[in-house]
Amino acid sequence: MNKSLLYDFTFLRHGQSIGNAEDRYQGQVDFPLTETGRDQANNLAERWVATGQTFDLVIASPLLRARETAETVCARLQLPLELDELWLERDNGKLSGLTHAEIQAGSFRPTFSTPYDAFGETGEGDWALYLRAGQAIHSILRRPPGKYLVVSHGGLLNMVLYSILGIMPQANGNGIRFRFGNTAYARFTYQPDRHRWHMETLIGTVSAA
């Protein structure tokens, strides 16, 4: 294997946000981290410092919960940071910001939906999100090979793994789901000369101290 052609991706979900703590469909509503979320980000950064982990570049969603998580890691590991809207969470349409209880109490969800239908009537359906996930990966593959940390959101990262693993969205959101807890991450490597992906690591939520 020619290591100079190896891409090394770590896909990290942000720390706990106020929207997470309040059990909301956050989408692109901009909630900051809670104190627990800040502790999670700090603990993850400390773990990576202790193990000598480093990256060539950190790319993050500009939403506060992802940006704050990325800034914490970047400050501790002394890494450059870029914000990229391709890594935003799903646009949840009319469900954005509502709690799960509010959604269950209302008539917000259709009895049947295809991957092509809008989410929350006006938001991004599964197919649209899947296409954006592929576009987000492609945007990094236009860069030189290296080690990239991507700080994003559970909904989009689920579709990133779909795109890498060749899984298609299904009707009613059925099929396998990749659940990223707060500060959980997945590491993949990619060899472009062979078009070969390897799943290297799956790590669950980093607990607050």
CATH no. for residue 186? 3.40.50.1240
- Determine what percent of the chain is predicted with pLDDT higher than 90: 86
* Mean predicted confidence (pLDDT) in 140-165: 97
Is there a domain that residue 96 lies in? yes
* Measured distance CA(3)–CA(186) in Å, rounded: 20
Is position 82 annotated as part of the catalytic site?
Answer: no
In a domain, 28, yes or no: yes
pLDDT of residue 107: 66
Task: Decide if 161 is inside a domain.
Answer: yes
Model pLDDT, residue 209: 39
Structural domain that includes position 179? 3-203
The answer to the question of residue 21 being in a domain is: yes
In a domain? residue 208: no
The whole-chain average pLDDT of the chain stands at 94
Nearest-5° Cα angle at 149, 32 to 183: 45
| Residue 181: inside a domain | yes
- The number of distinct structural domains making up the chain is 1
Q: Is the pLDDT of residue 205 over 80?
A: no
pLDDT (0 to 100) of residue 11: 98
Say if residue 172's pLDDT is above 90.
Answer: yes
Average pLDDT over residues 85-98: 97
Q: pTM score, two decimals?
A: 0.94
Q: Give the residues across from 190 on adjacent strands.
A: 7, 197
Q: Is residue 148 part of a domain?
A: yes
Does any domain span residue 209? Answer: no
Q: How confident is the model at residue 104 (pLDDT cuts 50, 70, 90)?
A: confident
- Contact between 171 and 2 under an 8 Å Cβ cutoff? The reply is no
89 counts as catalytic: yes
**Residue predicted with more confidence, 142 or 103:** 142
Summarize the confidence of residues 70-92 as an average pLDDT: 98
The mean-pLDDT minimum among 13-17, 77-81, 106-110, 117-121 falls in 106-110
**Which residue is catalytic, options 46, 71, 85, 89?**
89
Torsion of CA 38, 89, 147, 198, to 10 degrees: 120
Amino acid at 97: G
Which ranges constitute the DSSP H helices of 52-125?
64-77, 100-105
Q: Which residues of 191-201 are buried (b: 16+ CB within 10 A; e: fewer)?
A: beeeeeeeeee
pLDDT (tens digit, 9 = 90+) per residue, 46-77? 999 999 999 999 999 999 999 999 999 999 99
Report the alpha-carbon distance of residue 154 to residue 74 in Å, rounded: 21
